[in-house]
Structure 1
Amino acid sequence: MSPDRVTLALPWTPPLEVAAGIAGQEGALCLLSDGGPNGRVSWVGADPDVIQVGPVDPRDPFIALRQAGLERQVVGLAAYDAGARPATGPRAAAAGDWPDLMLARYPALLRFHHPSLTIQAIGTGPDAEAQARRAAGWIARSKAATRPSAPAVQFNGETSEAAYTSAVTDVVARIAAGEMFQANIARAWGGRLRDDADPFDVFLRLAQGAAPYGAFWRLGDRVLVSNSPELFLTFDPADRRLETRPIKGTRARDVDPDQDATNAADLVASAKDRAENLMIVDLMRNDLARVSEPGSVVVERLLMLESFATVHHLVSTVVSTASDGVGPANILEATFPPGSITGAPKHQAMKVIADHEPPRGPWCGSLFLLDDRARMTASVLIRTASFWRDAEGWRFRTLAGAGIVADSDPDAECAETDTKILAIRRALIGP
């Protein structure tokens, strides 16, 4: 056992219950998976010993990850705008004054392996054993993760449906004029929580239909809550395998099994949705090729149906072998922001998005973990709300977007954003 890494085996306790016991602490973290094949591991932690928050240099936005001591047990949040700024130029801060990049190192973490129902308390650093025992102590503080009442008192659209369909109409025209092939255009909603509510209440409500890459992260007066089903990247330095799983194509779930199956079949057969997915697969192949061994980029799975609590999606998987000397900072720099939420070509799509949206902030950025073995897992921050506290309490902002292509129908794309925001809306204000 390495003297700067100690692990303790612990009996199973659900990660959500452990997270509930420490949710109010500084740096409280819960990376909550659904336990399925795409999300087999959850993580819980608190009290990071290093925190970096601030703007980044657009020429090297992930330089902080190259610094000594930030190569493992590090959580980071890269805002969408940090990657879009080379295309858009300087812009105002996102709502809540969210920074471009937030990084925190956790000397103590709990790792929950769902298939085996086991927990590891992991401590790192010069006092690794004490850190591991500190993590183990969080188990005793577990609380019942009961579903609270709806915590929000407002859920207001920033713009009208008419404004959104007008934006889609403009983008379709610009695609016809040859500016691009696709752009993801979003709608935004905002509001505030009840005086007695906390963003963790929203996370508890979302977790009833947990996705593979759910997340709660508290740093100071900012909180991120996500129920993302989408993997942006994984990277394992041991075998240098890179993987991305872009999502494009959506249909609503239905309580009637026959109608639900019909919706899924319609998505699988949709020429528009398949073409949209293929465009992003090509974009991600090109992005991965920038940091991969020549000829190693392969489409492993194409246009596969995956079903979640409120939606069906089409998902593809692209893999490669990273070039020697390439690390997480290089990989993120080459691929960020995720192609599935920008469009193609990416640079032009980001310019068009900026013509129709204010800064996005965390939404459609990425939340990433470098674990105790320096393996990286990064999600795409869809199905995500950002929270910040001001003099009046907790405020939030959340978005949902749709990929606009040449034959997009503006009303149908608007309806798709309603479908995508449904789980977040219910978590905030109820049915």
Structure 2
Amino acid sequence: MLLLENGPGGKPAHFARPRRMIRADAAHEVEPALAAIDIERAGGAWLAGYASYELGYALEPKLAPLNVAPRGEPLIHFGVFDGPQDAAAILAQAEEEAKGAALSRPAALWSQSDHARGVRAIQEYIAAGDVYQVNLTMQMASRVTGTPLGIYGALRRRQTVAHGAFVALPDAPVVLSRSPELFFACDGAGRIETRPMKGTAPRATNPAQDAALRMDLQNSAKNRAENLMIV
């Protein structure tokens, strides 16, 4: 099942009991999976799921030889549904299960020297003109008490964000997502909307405060650089 907090119409949506699953675990399975998704959409079905970060290696020919394996999850994993259900019950369940849910202090799976080595490599790539930005990320490990849905409910209490998802699909890791940013959204007219935070500032209702925020943004070398990266 899937819980999308910013679903159709901006309301929470609960997707349960899929008619079928569409999945790709290897690069050669990606094209058939995408074709199957298009067929289901054209037939009026609802699809909900995710594409893993590592899917990019299968979509970009220059990266395909690297053949980086995903971290235990499919490259593509979507359920085919008749439509979304009201999410009130599943949100209430998450709130109830949050009472016994907790995460231990996360532990980085990289050492400081590993991280420093990555930073130096990125600096060399930038200096050589090979890249203009790199997301340097690493995995972290934590011990869980309670249920995955309870952990999600606990995160909801602590993180008030516009976008959240709980994804528990068959034969795959459970995905918990909380984000203040909208990566992108498409509407029926084919328009794409994105709402990043990097290189931006909140608007103020007071004109003087709004002008001050704009000036701070304009005078910040860091924010100007981040804005150029994403626009």
Q: TM-score, normalized by length of structure 2?
A: 0.75
Q: Are residues 71 and 157 of structure 1, via their aligned partners in 2, closer, same or farther at CA, if it must alter by over 3 Å? A: farther
Distance 1:74 1:190 in 2: 31
Q: Report how many aligned residue pairs link the two structures.
A: 211
Q: Deviating runs (4+, > 6 A) in structure 1? A: 264-268
Identity %: 29
Equivalent in the alignment of 1:280:
230
Structure whose residues are more often strand by fraction: 1
Tell me if the contact between 1:151 and 1:198 (Cα under 8 Å) persists in the aligned partners. no
1:91 to 59, 67, 73: 67
Matches within 5 A, 1:9-408: 27=1, 29-33=2-6, 40-55=10-25, 56-57=27-28, 60=31, 62-68=34-40, 71-85=44-58, 86=60, 87-88=62-63, 89-95=65-71, 97-110=72-85, 139=89, 142-143=92-93, 145-146=95-96, 147-153=98-104, 155-194=106-145, 197-208=146-157, 209-221=159-171, 222-237=173-188, 239-249=189-199, 269-281=219-231
Question: 1:12-65 CA deviation, whole Å, 9 max, x = no partner?
Answer: xxxxxxxxxxxxxxx2x21114x9xxx832111311111122234488473232
Equivalent in the alignment of 2:207:
none
Once the 2 structures are TM-superposed, how far is the Cα of residue 207 of structure 1 from its aligned partner? Answer: 0.8
Distance 1:244 1:140 in 2: 28
Structure whose residues are more often helix by fraction: 2
Equivalent in the alignment of 1:420:
none
Gaps of 5+ in 1: 1-26, 113-137, 252-263, 282-431
Q: Are residues 212 and 192 of structure 1, via their aligned partners in 2, closer, same or farther at CA, if it must alter by over 3 Å? A: same
Gaps of 5+ in 2: 202-213
Q: Are residues 139 and 189 of structure 1, via their aligned partners in 2, closer, same or farther at CA, if it must alter by over 3 Å? A: closer
- Structure with bigger RCO (C-alpha 8 Å, 6+ apart): 1
Q: TM-score, normalized by length of structure 1?
A: 0.43
2:153 partner letter: L
Once the 2 structures are TM-superposed, how far is the Cα of residue 223 of structure 1 from its aligned partner? Answer: 0.9
Distance 1:65 1:169 in 2: 41
Q: Are residues 230 and 140 of structure 1, via their aligned partners in 2, closer, same or farther at CA, if it must alter by over 3 Å? A: closer
Tell me if the contact between 2:45 and 2:83 (Cα under 8 Å) persists in the aligned partners. no
Tell me if the contact between 1:65 and 1:71 (Cα under 8 Å) persists in the aligned partners. no
CA RMSD of aligned residues (A): 3.5
Tell me if the contact between 1:44 and 1:110 (Cα under 8 Å) persists in the aligned partners. yes
